[in-house]
Each structure stands twice: as structure tokens, then as C-alpha cells.
């Protein structure tokens, strides 16, 4: 009951009767644990119950309600009140625990390769992408909300994004990125479907010609067993080329046919199985016979022909193969043994180069001191090679070098020549001869005073003639004639009588000698 007191301090006699009505609204009802999917970005508004009369708090005593857009936190407890029509909010609150499902994305290779040939007559699709997961969905971007159809064709180089959905029907917020590599290998290129090979070269599968990445050969269009690269080709056989990708191993969609033809060339005809050449001529492969339409090899199994400029080797066996207009050679080779003839170097006897100039030796005397190495004929030259052949009657010259070669019955000359430098000073058994006089009367007999062997043995000599009083009558050396009985050789005639000579040898330290002579008129 209520009274009122006025300004004069007087209280009302009558009282207002009031009955108190306490509103006690019950809290809202709902599941104590509520599950949400992370991908849906759940907020307060998604809690149940919801409505205009529901307020949510982050604690049981909080007085500030949460906004409807506040994000839910996994494992957090939220508190709900309800306000009735009288505007009274429930004292008790509904306690709800938020459970946020966070499924992981599926797992799988980040790059996946597809060979178009493996899906013929179709092409690889989304359904061919391979990951580990449940209820997998594929998207064309990380944020797309529209899943791709499993029948959508894969695009080479395109990235695709996979999610999975767990038992709670929640889709993973994170997605696995997979890049698709779609390989379409072009067919092998065969510029010549009819390919010709030489039997002699034992053509193999590896010799077939086709252009591509990695070519694999089969014996039929449908065979699944590739041929070995070392397998020999068969004449007239069909072979099929398949182009493959070297990295992924993808194959071309079809095979290209090649027909192999094997050319056989008959062996050559060789008249001489042993062929002889002069070694001095430096014979080469080009000198072997026959030379036309022939290739030469250093062994029966060699496939590399020798160069025409290769020098022949004595005793070596060379193998001839016949060639045809297409460049093929005979499978059978014929052997030829090479003999290089070299009569050897002539042999000179010990000290055979020594002669005495007094004897006026000739080349024939030198030749007599030289013997043939292999019973051949010996020839002499003034130089070798490119010298002039000398006559055996030619006089030898002191200090000059002569060159001898031997020629055998095959007409082959020595590879190494003999060099002989002549010494005409081997005159130890000879000496000068001085006569006791001369008669310069013009009868052609003893008209000059000649000292035998002086000019030959002592070319640097000097001779002086004096009369009985020591007066010089005449002197001469190698460059002047013998004394003719005149003063100084061309003046007054010397009178008959005794004169004296002095001989200066100027060689081997021989001392001068002197003597007398009688000049008779």
C-alpha cells in the first residue's frame, strides 16, 4: 500500500493498493553442443535458437550481448537469454558449446600428367584426377563455389582445386591444388617411307629414320612389344614408328609405317692378292688396284673406309669392298697384302771415300768401293733427291759429296741414299819428284822445269829460283805456270848454267827444301 506526503508534511489517509507481479521468463532451449562447418564461416547468428528476442553472451554474467556477425570460436561456450512480450529478459541462460568442424583437404600429387593416347577415343577429364579423400569436389580456383563436373575435360597447364567432405557433411575450407599436364604427342615424321640400307653395314632397327622425341619401333601396327635397337633389319619388312615423350613416356596416337629394303653388292674382283710398291715413292691407298668403284678398309669387319691419302704399310693386309652408285659396299671384302720394296742403302767399304788426287780418280773408282745391299744396280747423283745422275767417268772432286742409290729388279730405289764426301788427300805413299835440270829450247821436250806431284800434293806451295849470286829469277804458286827459263817468266832468256830452287810446301808443317838444277840451251 502506498501513501503520499505533501509539501506541508501531511501524509494521505487513503492508500493505493498495488499487487506485485514478478515476470520470470524461462531461458531459451536448444542443443547444448552445436556443430558448424569452418567453410561456412559460422557466426552468432547461426547459433540455435535464434531470433529477435534472443541475446547471446560470451559468459553467464556478461551484460553486453554479442553482435550477430561475431564469428564463432571452436570449443567456446556461448550463453543465450530470451526476452518475453513484457520486455523481461530471462535470468537463466542457455549454455551452448560451439563445435567447428575443420576437415583437412585431400592429399595427392601436386602435378599430374595425362597422356592423351591412354584415353582414346576420349580425352582425360576431371574424373581422372587422382587424390586421396572422401566426397571429393573439384573447382577451377581456390575460391570458386561452383564445383566442376567429373566429365569436364582437363586443360593442359590448368590448376584444379580439390576439397573433401567429412562424415559431418562439412567440406574442407582448404583445398589441394593440382596442376594438370595433358600431353598429346605428335606422330613420328617419316620423310621417306621406303628406306634403303646396305647389307654390308648390317643395318639395325636403330638405322631406321624417323623424326620425333623418342622413337620406338614395332613390327606391326598393333604390337605391344617394341623391337630392340640392335635387331637386324629384314629386307622387305614393314616397321612401325611410334613417337614417345622422353619424360612422361606418353605415346603418339598412331604409328607411321616404314618399308626396309636391303641392297646387296657383289664382292670385287682382285687380280693380284699381293701388290708390290716402291717404298721410296710413299705409296698410298689410292695406289692399290683396282681403284675404281672400290673402298679399302684396314680389317675385314671395319666399316670406316681408309682415306686415299693414307700411306701403305709394308706387310699390312688391306680389304677391298666394291661400291655401287648408291654408296653401298659389298658385304664380302677381298684381302690384298702389301709389299713395300726397298733395296736398302748401298754399302761403302771402310775408307772407301779416300783417294789420292795424283791418280786423277773417277767416279768409277768410287763405285768400285761401294756394294749393293740387295744385288741391285747403283746410280750416282750430284745431289739427292732432284739431282743429276753422274757418269762413272767423271773425275772426283776433293770435298765434294756424291749420292748413291740402289735400284732393285722391281725398279724400286733406296729409301735412304748413301752420301759419300770424297777425300783426295790420301797420298801418303806419294811424294814430289824434282828433276836435275831442263832444256827450254822450244822443242816441246822439258821446256819447263816441272816438279812432279807438287801441285796435287801441296796446293799452297811456293817455289823460288835464284842464280849463283842469289838473284831471284822466277817464283810461282798454284796460280802460275812452271818456270820456262826466262827472267820472271816473260823477260830475258836465262843463260845456260846452274841455278838453285827453294820449295815451300805450306802444308803439314813440312819444312822447305832447296837444291840445284842445270838449265841447258
Each residue's pLDDT, cut to its tens digit, for the chain (521 residues) gives 899 999 999 999 999 999 998 889 899 999 999 999 999 999 999 999 876 799 999 999 999 999 999 999 999 999 999 999 889 999 999 999 999 999 999 999 999 999 999 998 899 999 999 999 999 999 999 999 999 999 999 999 999 999 999 999 999 999 999 999 999 999 999 999 999 999 998 999 999 999 999 999 999 999 999 999 999 999 999 999 999 998 888 999 999 999 999 999 999 999 999 999 999 999 999 999 998 999 999 999 998 999 999 999 999 999 999 999 888 999 999 999 999 999 999 999 999 999 999 889 999 999 999 999 999 999 999 999 889 999 999 999 999 999 999 999 989 999 999 999 999 988 877 889 999 999 999 899 999 999 999 998 899 999 999 999 999 999 999 999 999 999 998 888 999 999 999 999 999 899 999 999 999 98
341 in Cβ contact with 367 (< 8 Å): no
Grid cell digits, residue 226: 617394341
Contacts of 224 (CB under 8 A, 6+ apart): none
Helical spans, DSSP H, in 243-390: 363-368
* Helix/strand/coil for 302: coil
Q: Report the alpha-carbon distance of residue 127 to residue 165 in Å, rounded.
A: 17
Q: What is the pLDDT of residues 260-318, one digit of tens each?
A: 999 999 999 999 999 999 999 999 999 999 989 999 999 999 989 999 999 999 999 99
Q: Report the alpha-carbon distance of residue 196 to residue 324 in Å, rounded.
A: 13
Domains of the chain: residue spans and CATH: 33-101 (2.60.40), 111-183 (no CATH), 194-263 (no CATH), 274-341 (no CATH), 347-421 (no CATH), 437-519 (2.60.40)
Q: How many Cα atoms sit within 13 Å of 50 on the Cβ side?
A: 11
- DSSP 8-state class, residue 60: S
Q: What is the pLDDT of residues 83-132, one digit of tens each?
A: 998 899 999 999 999 999 999 999 999 999 999 999 988 999 999 999 99
pTM of the predicted structure, to 2 decimals: 0.53
Pairing of strands 317-322, 294-297: antiparallel
Quote the radius of gyration of the chain (alpha carbons, Å): 64
Write down the residue that cell numbers 600428367 correspond to.
Answer: 113
Grid cell digits, residue 405: 742409290
Grid cell digits, residue 506: 805450306
CA distance between the termini of the chain: 212
Q: Report the alpha-carbon distance of residue 27 to residue 415 in Å, rounded.
A: 129
Helical spans, DSSP H, in 246-368: 363-368
Amino acid at each position: 500500500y502506498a501513501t503520499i506526503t505533501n509539501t506541508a508534511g501531511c501524509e494521505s489517509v487513503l492508500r493505493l493498493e498495488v499487487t506485485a507481479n514478478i515476470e520470470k521468463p524461462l531461458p531459451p532451449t536448444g542443443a547444448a553442443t552445436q556443430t558448424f562447418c569452418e567453410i561456412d564461416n559460422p557466426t552468432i547468428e547461426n547459433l540455435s535458437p535464434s531470433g529477435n528476442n534472443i541475446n547471446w553472451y560470451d559468459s553467464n554474467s556478461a551484460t553486453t550481448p554479442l553482435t550477430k556477425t561475431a564469428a564463432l570460436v571452436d570449443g567456446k561456450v556461448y550463453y543465450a537469454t530470451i526476452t518475453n512480450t513484457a520486455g523481461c529478459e530471462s535470468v537463466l541462460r542457455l549454455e551452448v558449446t560451439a563445435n567447428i568442424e575443420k576437415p583437412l583437404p585431400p592429399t595427392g600429387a601436386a602435378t599430374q600428367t595425362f597422356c592423351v593416347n591412354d584415353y582414346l577415343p576420349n580425352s582425360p577429364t576431371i574424373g581422372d584426377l587422382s587424390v586421396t579423400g572422401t566426397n571429393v569436389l573439384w573447382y577451377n580456383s581456390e575460391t570458386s563455389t561452383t564445383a566442376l563436373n567429373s566429365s569436364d575435360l582437363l586443360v593442359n597447364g590448368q590448376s584444379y582445386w580439390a576439397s573433401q567432405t567429412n562424415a559431418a557433411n562439412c567440406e574442407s575450407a582448404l583445398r589441394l591444388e593440382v596442376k594438370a599436364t595433358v600431353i598429346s604427342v605428335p606422330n613420328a615424321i617419316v620423310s621417306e617411307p621406303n628406306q634403303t640400307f646396305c647389307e654390308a653395314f648390317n643395318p639395325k632397327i636403330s638405322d631406321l629414320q624417323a623424326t620425333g622425341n623418342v622413337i620406338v619401333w614395332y613390327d606391326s601396327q598393333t604390337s605391344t612389344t617394341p623391337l630392340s635397337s640392335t635387331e637386324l633389319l629384314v629386307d622387305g619388312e614393314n616397321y612401325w614408328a611410334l613417337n614417345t615423350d622422353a619424360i612422361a613416356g606418353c605415346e603418339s596416337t598412331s604409328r607411321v609405317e616404314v618399308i626396309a629394303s636391303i641392297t646387296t653388292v657383289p664382292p670385287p674382283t682382285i687380280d693380284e692378292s699381293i701388290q708390290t710398291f716402291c717404298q721410296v715413292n710413299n705409296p698410298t691407298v689410292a695406289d692399290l688396284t683396282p681403284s675404281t668403284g672400290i673402298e679399302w678398309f684396314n680389317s675385314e669387319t671395319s666399316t670406316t673406309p681408309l682415306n686415299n691419302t693414307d700411306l701403305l704399310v709394308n706387310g699390312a693386309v688391306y680389304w677391298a669392298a666394291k661400291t655401287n652408285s648408291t654408296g653401298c659396299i659389298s658385304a664380302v671384302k677381298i684381302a690384298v697384302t702389301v709389299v713395300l720394296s726397298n733395296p736398302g742403302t748401298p754399302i761403302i767399304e771402310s775408307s772407301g771415300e779416300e783417294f789420292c788426287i795424283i791418280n786423277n780418280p773417277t767416279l768409277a773408282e768410287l763405285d768400285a768401293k761401294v756394294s749393293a745391299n740387295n744385288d741391285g744396280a747403283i746410280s750416282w747423283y750430284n745431289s739427292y733427291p732432284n739431282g743429276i745422275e753422274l757418269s762413272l767417268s767423271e773425275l772426283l772432286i776433293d770435298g765434294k759429296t756424291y749420292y748413291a742409290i740402289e735400284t732393285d729388279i722391281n725398279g724400286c730405289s733406296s729409301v735412304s741414299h748413301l752420301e759419300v764426301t770424297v777425300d783426295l788427300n790420301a797420298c801418303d805413299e806419294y811424294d814430289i819428284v824434282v828433276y836435275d835440270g831442263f832444256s827450254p829450247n822450244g822443242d816441246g821436250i822439258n821446256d819447263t822445269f816441272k816438279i812432279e806431284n807438287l801441285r796435287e800434293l801441296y796446293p799452297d806451295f811456293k817455289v823460288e829460283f835464284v842464280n849463283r849470286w842469289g838473284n831471284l829469277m822466277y817464283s810461282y804458286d798454284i796460280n802460275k805456270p812452271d818456270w820456262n827459263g826466262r827472267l820472271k817468266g816473260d823477260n830475258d832468256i836465262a843463260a845456260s848454267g846452274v841455278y838453285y830452287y827453294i820449295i815451300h810446301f805450306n802444308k803439314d808443317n813440312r819444312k822447305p827444301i832447296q837444291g840445284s838444277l842445270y838449265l841447258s840451251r
